[in-house]
Chains A and B, each alone.
Chain A
Amino acid sequence: MMDKVYIIGKDSIPERISLSDSQEFRACFVALAGADAGMSLEIDIDGRDCLVDIAGVCLCTGEQKASVNVTVRHNCPGSRSYQQFLSIASGESRAYFDGLVYVAPGAGGTKAEQQSRSLLLDSRAFVEARPQLEIYADDVECSHGCTSGYLDEDELFYLRSRGIPEQQAKKFQMIAFLSPVLGRLDEELKQTIYDSLP
Chain B
Amino acid sequence: MLYRVMDKRELPALVRAFMESYEVVAPVKRGQGYVFDVIESPDDIEIGYTQTASSPKKYLMPPTETLMKFDARMNLVQDYVHEVTPRVIFGVHTCDINAMNRLDTALIGGKYVDPYYKAHRDATLVVGISCTPNDKCFCHLWGADEAQFGYDLFLHDIGDKYLVSMSNVEATNILEAACEISEATDEDRIAFRQATRTRQSAFNKDIPDVQDVAMLMDVFHSDPFWEELGGRCLSCSACASVCPTCFCFDIRDVLAPDGKTGERQRTWDACTSPNFAAVAGGYNFRPTGRERVRHRMYHKLNGFMVNHDRMLCVGCGRCVAACKTGINPIEVLRFFKRKGADHAK
Do A and B associate with each other? no
Binding site for A on B (CB under 8 A): none
Binding site for B on A (CB under 8 A): none
